[in-house]
Amino acid sequence: MESSTSFPILLSLRVAGLALLFVGPIGLAIALLQARRRYALRGLVDALVLLPLVLPPSVVGYVLVVVFGRRGLLGRILEEGLGVRLVFSPAGAALASAVVALPILVKTAQPSIEAVPSQLEDVARTLGLKPWEVVFRVTLPLAWRGVLAALVLGFARAIGEFGATLMLAGNIPGRTNTMPVEIFAAFQEGDDARAGLYVGVLSAISVVVVLVAGLLGPKEGRAPA
Amino acid sequence: MSGAPALEVDLEVTVGRGGAAFSVEARFTLPSGVLVLFGPSGAGKTVTLRAIAGLIRPTRGSVRLAGEALFDWMRGVDVPPEARRIGYVPQDQALFPHLDVLGNVVFGLPRKERKKPGPLVLALLDELGLSALRGARVDSLSGGERQRVALGRALAAEPRLLLLDEPLSALDRAARLSIGRSLREALARRSLPAVLVTHDAEEAAAFGDVFVRFERGKPARELPREVVLGEKGPCPHCGKP
């Protein structure tokens, strides 16, 4: 039992890292799309991105189980095609964390991308750069503070995910018991010391994240308008 | 050089949406030299410039550069801006604030030449009087220096046409004269055709070979120098009224 004290901490870091690896590029792509393009379904995409923020975690978890569960459409394809089972697995915990991290990631990165004057991107195009080259050589270098803040906040949201994680990945000691899940279990068992330990660790991580995000937040260092 | 004119434009561009939408119509031909788009602000000069660069998609018409169709609505041709090789110097220069002067000038070059600037780049810096400023931050530059960097950045990519939006209007008189001279020499040395946007008659007279007058709500057309610049226009030889 003692040796497994550190397991939820390491698992949470791994799950949040995996979630960020997955949702980071997707979130940034959506933020770029929403910041720079005016297209027919833009409002709908905006609403869909915000959904995990507005819906109760139990609803997000339920939807994920329906879609990615063993009888869900994508769940079956993943299990039969790739041998990946998300239910009751750390990968499932990472997926749930990724989904709930998406809104904060997109909504933090988008304004910093919008703050890059599009005239700079236009000039870069006339100098021979393809649109994806413009992203890497103009947009991201100028929006890096906001993008980094988005990734940091997304990581914090991912590591703190509880409800959807519990429904999709469950609470299997030594396999899917991330810190938030472990806190709930310890609380129910009346093990205040164990709950307190993880509460402390999660709180410390959150304080660091909020401080870092504050340092990166809106500030001079942006491109002049 | 082929017999095709440097630039042939016949465009209708609509910008904005709904009640705020407005259309710009422009038709003109530049055999060689500098074409001046002249008229008050809000008449569609910049919109026309951006359409030539490929940054706005016209609603119909065509743009031909030395006979090559860059845009042809009828035939479904629309060459993307990165493949047009048209240099663009916008009104506020739009220098890259995360790069120094040299980084801005070499921006459009292949990676190898960006890492280690070749003799052509060094000669260009020298030509524009930027050699001493190559490591300077762009936000520390004067208006004239910014204009030189923007010009150098466009020229380094070896464009086939240069688009200049009010290149001298924000400058004081001394900078205006010296940048104007550099610009004329740079264009002449390369036999590079250019389109220059201005609302200033003196600037128009000093640069223009062909003149197009823009007025709100009217199609833009080529007109003789005297008509475009008006009777009060400056003397074409000395630039004075």
Name the residue in chain B with its Cα closest to that of A138: B96
Instruction: Find the mean pLDDT for residues A205-225.
Output: 72
Answer yes or no: is B51 within a domain. yes
Q: DSSP class of residue B140?
A: G
pLDDT tens digits, A67-111: 998 888 888 888 888 887 888 999 999 999 999 999 999 999 999
Q: Confirm whether B197 is domain-assigned.
A: yes
Q: What is the pLDDT of residue B95?
A: 96
Domain containing B218: what range? 7-96+161-229
Q: List, in order of start, the domains of chain A with CATH numbers.
A: 2-216 (1.10.3720.10)
Structure tokens at A180: 């938030």
User: Mean pLDDT of all residues in chain A?
Assistant: 90
B79: closest chain A residue by CA = A126
Does B33 reside within a domain? yes
CB within 8 Å: B107 and A127: yes
pLDDT-derived band at A35 (thresholds 50, 70, 90) equals very high
Distance of residue B215 Cα from the nearest chain A Cα, in angstroms: 25
Q: pLDDT-based confidence at A2, cuts 50/70/90? A: very low
Which chain A residues have a beta carbon less than 8 Å from that of B82?
125-130
Kindly report the three-state secondary structure assignment for every residue of B201-237. Answer: HHHHHHHCCEEEEEECCEEEEEECHHHHHCCCCCCCC
Q: What pLDDT is attached to residue A1?
A: 42
The per-residue pLDDT for B94 is 95
Chain B residue nearest residue A132, CA to CA: B82
Q: What is the mean pLDDT of residues A131-142?
A: 96
pLDDT band at A223 (very low <50, low <70, confident <90, very high): very low
For chain B, residues with pLDDT lower than 70 are: 1-2, 230-241
Chain A residues touching residue B90 (CB < 8 angstroms): 119, 122-123
For residue B100, the model assigns a pLDDT of: 95
pLDDT of residue B237: 55
* Mutation for testing the B interface, residue in A122, A126, A136 having most B CBs under 10 Å: A126
Q: Which residue has the higher pLDDT, A101 or A210?
A: A101
Contact B218, B27 (CB under 8 A): no
Q: Looking at residue B66, what is its pLDDT?
A: 94
Q: Please check whether residue A24 is in contact with residue A105, taking contact to mean a CB–CB distance below 8 angstroms.
A: yes
Is B54 in contact with A125 (Cβ distance < 8 A)? Answer: yes
Model confidence pLDDT, tens digit, residues A170-204? 888 889 999 999 999 999 999 999 999 999 999 99
Kindly list the residues from chain B whose CB atom is less than 8 angstroms away from the CB atom of residue A142.
97-98
For A144-159, what is each residue's pLDDT tens digit?
999 999 999 999 999 9
Contacts with B129 (C-beta within 8 Å, 6 or more apart), sequence order: B148, B182
Position B137 in a domain: no
Considering only CA atoms, which of A36, A3, A5 is closest in space to residue A182? A5
Distance between A94 CA and the closest CA of chain B, angstroms: 35
Residue B102 belongs to a domain: no
Interface probe with A: pick from B57, B65, B96, B138, most Cβ of A within 10 Å: B96
Total structural domains within chain B: 1
* Residue B211 located in a structural domain: yes
A126 and B98 in contact by Cβ < 8 A?
no
pLDDT for B238: 57
Within a domain: B145: no
In the prediction, which pLDDT does A113 show?
96
Instruction: Report the first-to-last Cα separation within chain A, whole angstroms.
Output: 58
Q: What pLDDT is stored for residue B201 in this prediction?
A: 84
The secondary structure of residue B137, as a DSSP letter, is B
Residues of A within 8 A of B170 (CB-CB) are none
- Supply φ then ψ for residue A177, to 5 degrees: -85, 80
List beta partners, residue B72.
Answer: B62, B77
The residue with tokens 């931050």 is B137
Q: Is the pLDDT reported for residue A26 higher than 50?
A: yes
Q: What is the mean pLDDT of residues A42-61?
A: 94
ipTM score assigned to the predicted complex: 0.90
Residue with tokens 């960020």: A20
Interface probe with B: pick from A36, A119, A123, most Cβ of B within 10 Å: A123
Residue B37 lies in a domain: yes
Q: Is A135 on the interface with B (CB under 8 A)?
A: no
**How far away is chain B from the Cα of A219, in angstroms, using its nearest Cα?**
15
CATH for B17: 3.40.50.300
DSSP H or E segment with residue B78: strand B77-78
How many angstroms separate the CA of residue B87 from the nearest CA in chain A? 6
